[in-house]
Amino acid sequence: MPLGERSGDKSDSRYCGVETEFNDDVPRLLNFNLSGGFDFLVYPLMNPAYRPSLLKDHGGMSSALPFAGSDLVLSPSQWSGHVVGKISSWIDLDSEDEILRMDSEITLKQEISWASHLSLQACLLPFPRGTSCANYARCVNQILQGSSNMQLWLRVPLEKPDDDATDGKLGNSTERTDSWELWNCFRLLCEHHSQLSIALDVKSSLPSANSLGRWFGEPVRAAIIHTNAFLTNARGYPCLSKRHQKLMTALFNHSIQIVISGQLLHTLPSRSLEPAANHCDNHIDSTEKHPLRSYLDYVAYLYQRMDPLPEQERFEPLMDNLEAQTYETFEKDTMKYIQYQRAISKALVDRVPNENVETIMTVLMVVGAGRGPLVRASLQAAEETGRKLKIYAVEKNPNAVVTLHSLVKLEGWETLVTIVSSDMRCWDAPEKADILVSELLGSFGDNELSPECLDGAQRFLKEDGISIPSSYTSFIQPITASKLYNDVKSHRDLIHFETAYVVKLHSVARLAPTQPVFTFEHPNFSASKSNERYKKLVFHVPDDTGSAIVHGFAGYFDATLYKDVHLGIEPSTATPNMFAIFFPLRTPICVQPGSSLELHFWRCCGPTKVWYEWSVTSPITSPIHNSKGRSYWVGL
């Protein structure tokens, strides 16, 4: 593995490939590149000179197709583990030349069929040659409908949206120059198929940071970095600009594989062996140093100096009944409980002056005590501040109550903690509390019924009592999230498109800054209080982003626990890769640079349930999602 071992890293980005030319001797070609440090080849499946229309028909028998040997030249594991098929780059399925169009269609199907026969894991498709891709996408979509698990990577140039097309491939300067536009058209025609992915072509110039960012919400599986994108360092070796280095780090972090392409363009120090292998030659000497090894070494250097990769995104629906593993996951968030302890300590000091610490007992109620982390944080706060504390631990989950009883005995808390096995809204407290503590906040703040539960529990809070948290606000933003969208789409029903999901946002592109949605404060003694809410939000897509697609909305929260002690997952203030909430759109919406996106969001309350509804009204109008809570709700 050329990029090096890194603890806990099992992502695809540790593998690095190399793009090669067609060669009759595949075993020798593979051996040369693997011994040179690469993990796999991006290899043309057919001789580039082949055209179906040039084949002669001999007595009804067509000439043999010009594949590089048979399937027997490599073992099945070598084909599937070390070769990505490269579809002929000359094909143009939308050409006005009828012969070229037919040749292209025939060749595409022949090569994909051969790749499937070889059990290749992926094939690289050339980028559409013109500004139209309808017929190309139609043929690819037909292939996808009948394919096994083989991925198709569409090669997409990473171009500046404002660049003029000067190579003739994208038409003149008045036509589409943003490669994302053509990719989006292609994937829409293929119905967002989950096996259609992207291989980004990385050149010497890069678009703006916002334009680059949108690709990380797309299904990018590989990045092909050309040797002409490299600079030369003081010692004569290849290196990358700071912007390219930052891009490479982001690619690694998103489990995107690197493929090096091109010829040796740097004059290496004399002790380095000169390249003597040309990928176009049939003869390759496996004892020679690989000409691209210096580029590979630099990529490996960038990879190895990174911090450990973050966890990959997890796709989980919201849950009413928490299991032991879920409690354990939440309890590992040590920073949360440190913040709670800070808030409780400040509240205890405010409630009990130093001169009264020996005479005043503070009554604290932990509502929704779970397996006891807030009970422990409260006792530690009391010890830290020297205040006397009496705790009621209220929990409705009978399984968690069993754990609480064991914990009280194990820690010797019998005289300090009273366990109450009840729903906080139904419990009749024997006395009123000075401090009410809860961790009912969900990823969207109020999505786990914190307003309703705390409204029901505040009847046993003293009029001057303290609620921790004292307030919380939900936030939302539009995102590109191809992976999440395809996961939802795979269920093929309306219900899943109208359900909110707790996820780790990893492979997403955030298209606009977050905006606040709903705010709740506790305690709330208002006579006309209602937990129903409605908000209209207008998001502005930056001018330099380029066009992008909105698959849905990411939700977060920020809570004030007490005074200046905060807790939350809103991206501008929180650690990345936190659990957030995802509200999908039934039909993704394309937004233009500099345009606005208008979202309407409702929090609705009924006698037995709470639910959200959401709808976009600009740039196009979407249906109202989850009307009357028909697909997703939280039961009261």
What is the structure's pLDDT at 196?
97
pLDDT at 169: 42
Top-confidence residue, 305 or 102: 102
- Quick: pLDDT tens for 508-562: 999 999 999 999 999 988 877 899 999 999 999 999 999 999 999 999 999 999 9
- CB contact set of 399 (below 8 Å; sequence gap of 6+): 324
pLDDT, mean of residues 116-142? 95
| Architecture of the domain whose range is 12-51+65-309 | Alpha-Beta Barrel (3.20)
- CATH code of the domain occupying 471-635: 2.70.160.11
State residue 330's pLDDT score: 52
Asked whether the predicted pLDDT for residue 2 surpasses 60, the reply is yes
Please tell me which residue in 105, 448, 498, 570 is annotated as part of the active site. 448
pLDDT score at 332: 54
Q: What is the mean pLDDT of the chain?
A: 87
424 marked ligand binding residue? yes
Is the distance from CB of 66 to CB of 49 less than 8 angstroms? Answer: yes
Predicted confidence (pLDDT) per residue in 241-251, tens digit: 999 999 999 99
Helix (H, G, I), strand (E, B) or coil at 374: helix
With H, G, I as helix, E, B as strand and everything else as coil, classify residue 136.
helix
**What is the per-residue pLDDT for 574?**
77
Which pLDDT score is estimated for 126? 98
Q: Is the model's pLDDT at 175 over the cut of 60?
A: no
pTM: 0.86
Three-class DSSP labels, 489-521: HCCCCHHHHCCCEEEECCCCEECCCCEEEEEEE
Please report the beta strands in 331-379, taking only residues with DSSP state E, as ranges in sequence order.
361-367
Q: Any binding-site annotation on 544?
A: no
Q: How confident is the model at residue 59 (pLDDT cuts 50, 70, 90)?
A: very low
Q: Using CA atoms, how far apart are residues 196 and 198, in angstroms rounded to an integer?
A: 7
Q: Which residue has the tokens 């404002």?
A: 162
- Higher pLDDT residue, 322 or 349? 349
Q: How many whole angstroms separate alpha carbon 66 and alpha carbon 47?
A: 6
26 forms beta bridges with none
pLDDT value of residue 8: 61
Q: Are 517 and 601 in contact (CB under 8 A)?
A: yes
Of the candidates 105, 111, 313, 439, the residue annotated as catalytic is 439
Three-state secondary-structure class, residue 98 = helix
Of 555, 558, 578, the closest CA to residue 476 belongs to 555
CATH number of 324-468: 3.40.50.150
pLDDT the model gives residue 486: 94
pLDDT digits (tens, 9 = 90+) for 504-523: 888 899 999 999 999 999 99
pLDDT of 409 above 90: yes
Q: Which residues, in sequence order, are CB contacts of 367 under 8 Å at separation 6+?
A: 394, 424, 436, 437, 438, 440, 453, 454, 457
pLDDT mean over 454-479: 94
Tens-place pLDDT, residues 275-322: 433 333 344 444 468 999 999 999 999 999 887 654 443 344 433 434
- 337 marked as binding residue: yes
Say whether 307 counts as a known binding-site residue. Answer: no
- The yes-or-no verdict on residue 328 having pLDDT over 80 is no
**Residue range 199-216: mean pLDDT, rounded:** 94
What is the mean pLDDT of the segment spanning 585-606? 97
Provide CB contacts within 8 A for 458, sequence distance 6+.
436, 467, 522, 523, 524, 525
The pLDDT tens digits of the residues spanning 413-431 come to: 999 999 999 988 788 899 9
The answer to whether 313 is a known catalytic residue is no
Give pLDDT, residue 162: 54
Which ranges of 147-280 would DSSP assign to H, the alpha helix? 179-189, 209-213, 242-253
Which strand (E) or helix (H) includes residue 18?
strand 16-19
pLDDT tens digits for 354-381? Answer: 999 999 999 999 999 998 999 999 999 9
Say if residue 632 carries a ligand binding annotation: no
Looking at the predicted structure, is the pLDDT value of residue 635 above 60?
A: yes
The reply to whether 439 belongs to the active site is yes
Residues of the chain with pLDDT > 70, as a percent, come to 87
Exposed, middle or buried: residue 8 (CB in 10 Å: 0-12, 13-18, 19+)? Answer: exposed
Domain boundaries, the chain: 12-51+65-309, 324-468, 471-635
User: In the Cβ-directed half-sphere of 46, how many Cα atoms lie within 13 Å?
Assistant: 26
pLDDT category of residue 11 using cuts at 50, 70 and 90: confident
- Would you tell me how many other CB atoms lie within 10 Å of the CB of residue 380? 16
Whether residue 441 contacts residue 557, with contact meaning beta carbons closer than 8 Å, is answered with yes
Q: Answer yes or no: are the C-beta atoms of 32 and 284 closer than 8 Å.
A: yes
Amino acid identity of residue 330, one-letter, is F
The answer to whether 289 is annotated as binding is no
Number of alpha carbons in the 13 Å side-chain half-sphere of residue 386: 7
**What is the percent of the chain with per-residue pLDDT over 90, rounded to a whole number?**
73
Q: What is the mean pLDDT of residues 163-169?
A: 40
Radius of gyration of the chain (CA): 30
CA–CA dist 306, 308 (Å, integer) = 6
Q: CA 374 to CA 340: how far, in whole Å?
A: 8
